[in-house]
Copies of this chain bind each other. A is one copy, B any other.
Amino acid sequence: MKEKEKLYFDERAKMIKAMAHPTRLYILTKLKEAEHCVCELTEMLGFDASTISKHLSVLKNAGLVSDDKRGLNVYYRLENPCILDILECVDSAIRKKLKSQMNMLK
């Protein structure tokens, strides 16, 4: 693999990696519907606020969300909604995998 190509795949993988955590993926799907402040997301998820804040900073560094302070709260919104289109394929792949696992048992 050429060096330039490698760097390109590094960048791509970095962005996908930012999505590759259940909490962050959940956050992204929530932000698809509407913007939310850290406290709302913390409430929904039930982790420590510092944990959620760090997950949000990962997403922000990746360029997947942006934020906006209003009053005491910081509101986050989804920057690239198309990123969630993958879920349709992921869900069908999960169903396919489960089916094949069921067939293994026969």
A residues with a Cβ closer than 8 A to B are 1, 5-6, 9-13, 15-17, 19-26, 44-46, 62-64, 79-80, 82-83, 85-94, 96-97, 100
Contact = CB atoms under 8 A, between A and B. Distances in A.
B63 A80 contact: no
Which DSSP category, helix, strand, loop or mixed, fits chain A's interface? helix
Contact of A83 (B20, B62, B93): B93
Contact of A15 (B23, B64, B83, B94): B94
Copies in the complex: 2
Contacts of A20: 13, 16-17, 19-20
A79 to B, nearest CB: 7
A93 B89 CA distance: 19
Contact of A89 (B17, B80, B91, B96): B80
B79 A83 contact: no
Shortest beta-carbon contacts, A-B, top 8: A63-B97, A82-B89, A17-B20, A9-B22, A20-B20, A86-B86, A80-B93, A13-B22
24 contacts: A1-B44, A1-B46, A10-B22, A12-B25, A12-B90, A13-B24, A15-B90, A16-B19, A17-B17, A17-B20, A19-B20, A20-B20, A62-B97, A63-B93, A64-B93, A79-B93, A79-B96, A80-B92, A83-B86, A83-B89, A83-B90, A83-B93, A85-B86, A86-B86
